[in-house]
Amino acid sequence: MVGAGASNEVSIPTGPALKAQIGHLIDFKYDNWGTTLINGDRLIEAALREHVRRNPEIEFRSLQLSCQAIGLAMPQAISIDNYLDTHRADANTNICGKVAISRAILAAEAASKLARPIDGRRVRHDRIEGTWYTELMRLVTENVTIDGLSERLSRIAFVVFNYDRALEHFLVHWIADYFRITMEEAVSFVSEVEIHHPYGMVGHLPWASKDPGVRFGETLSSGGDLLSIAAQIRTFTERMDSSSDELARIKACVSSSTRVVFLGFAFHQINMNLIQPTRPAAPGAVCFATAKGISGFASTAIRADITRWFTADSDLVHMKEDLTCRQLFDEYGRGLSMV
């Protein structure tokens, strides 16, 4: 289970920083004639104007007011997603929020430690050596050659609650560089990995899409492109239908797992319900979790939920309140070994 705290290890912002960025991006201000934008993000404004062009019954002024309301409320909100859920009946608020989220996440990817250098080289692995991403793949590739890589990867599944594509981007570059194979060959391995995004993501990476796709951290050229990406993310309100095939696959994956790992996960009840198994946990299932920033009182309740749903024994739940995602691998690496 990959939450916002996990992506934060490669400098992609968590909820508090993200909502602050969004408030800045949609703080539109114009010159004295009201025609030239002097503050706020031009691409977001272009996307909202394109939305009005496609929906003539909507006035651009109403979208401006929605953006203003979102910006003013961000210091009050738990997160941008929670705010949009509160205003689920307001279509203008939701389109403005989703466009702003998409813009902010793509910009965060571009500024992250996983971004490709300007000279076009592959990812700089020295920049991410101290993260859980590298520690994970060290476990996956321990005592294995490329001939055994597919089998190792088939034993892992990810449920990613973030809109970014950091995990997929990392896996392709790491495998290509470590095994000294082409990007195309690395893509063939990663394409077989089970990765779920319950809330969608800011477009599929080019190698994962029949369409042109969206490069990691891509700077889009038009508001229409940003609108298309915004349509691919879901808020709490638009979470998967309880009868959807993808949700059934997520629950089946969790139910059959003998080791469940929560990385940078905030344990919001709505997300816990989403991954709740439909049948008893696998015998002897062990759970590992980071709980950095979570109070001792909350941790006790979370531990009880994990025990009830993901394992049958509280002694098999390993959770500490002072561990980062990377430190979890340091602490419990032996229990997570794939050898």
Pick the closest to residue 104 from 24, 214, 196, 45 (CA basis).
24
| Residue 284's pLDDT band (cuts 50, 70, 90) | confident
Same domain, yes or no: 81 and 47: yes
Residue 129 domain flag: yes
Residue 3 domain flag: no
Residue 228 domain flag: no
Q: How many domains does the chain have?
A: 2
Domain span at residue 159 reads 121-217+239-336
The pLDDT assigned to 116 comes to 79
Q: Distance between CA 282 and CA 94 in Å, rounded?
A: 39
Residue 253 domain flag: yes
Q: What is the pLDDT of residues 61-120, one digit of tens each?
A: 999 999 999 999 999 999 999 999 999 999 999 999 999 999 999 999 999 999 977 656
Same domain, yes or no: 139 and 266: yes
The pLDDT assigned to 302 comes to 94
Question: Which alpha helices (H) appear in the chain, and where do they start and end?
Answer: 4-7, 15-25, 42-54, 60-73, 80-86, 91-111, 132-140, 149-153, 166-178, 183-190, 223-230, 245-256, 269-275, 296-310, 325-336
Per mean pLDDT, which of 115-129, 222-236, 268-282 is the most reliable? 222-236
In the predicted model, what is the mean pLDDT of the chain?
Answer: 92
Same domain, yes or no: 67 and 157: no
- H or E element in which residue 319 lies: strand 317-320
Question: Inter-axis angle of helices 223-230 and 42-54, to 10 degrees?
Answer: 80
The pLDDT assigned to 120 comes to 62
Same domain, yes or no: 158 and 104: no
The pLDDT assigned to 269 comes to 87
Same domain, yes or no: 29 and 163: no
Domain stop point among 111, 134, 157: 111
What proportion of the chain, given as a percentage, has pLDDT over 70? 97
Same domain, yes or no: 284 and 329: yes
Same domain, yes or no: 144 and 283: yes
The pair of three-digit structure tokens given for residue 199, joined into one six-digit string: 């809330």
Domain stop point among 111, 146, 175: 111
Same domain, yes or no: 39 and 184: no
Q: Distance between CA 102 and CA 227 in Å, rounded?
A: 9
Residues in the chain: 339
Q: Which residue has the higher pLDDT, 155 or 311?
A: 155
Same domain, yes or no: 75 and 132: no
Residue 222 domain flag: no
Residue 224 domain flag: no
| Residue 242's pLDDT band (cuts 50, 70, 90) | low
The pair of three-digit structure tokens given for residue 296, joined into one six-digit string: 């001792």
Q: What is the pLDDT of residues 14-41, one digit of tens each?
A: 989 999 999 999 999 988 777 788 999 9
Same domain, yes or no: 126 and 90: no
What proportion of the chain, given as a percentage, has pLDDT over 90? 78
Domain stop point among 79, 111, 143: 111
Q: Say if strands 157-159 and 194-196 run parallel, antiparallel, or are unpaired.
A: parallel
Residue 229 domain flag: no
Residue 6 domain flag: no
Same domain, yes or no: 132 and 107: no
Same domain, yes or no: 75 and 126: no
Pair 37, 195: CB distance under 8 Å = no
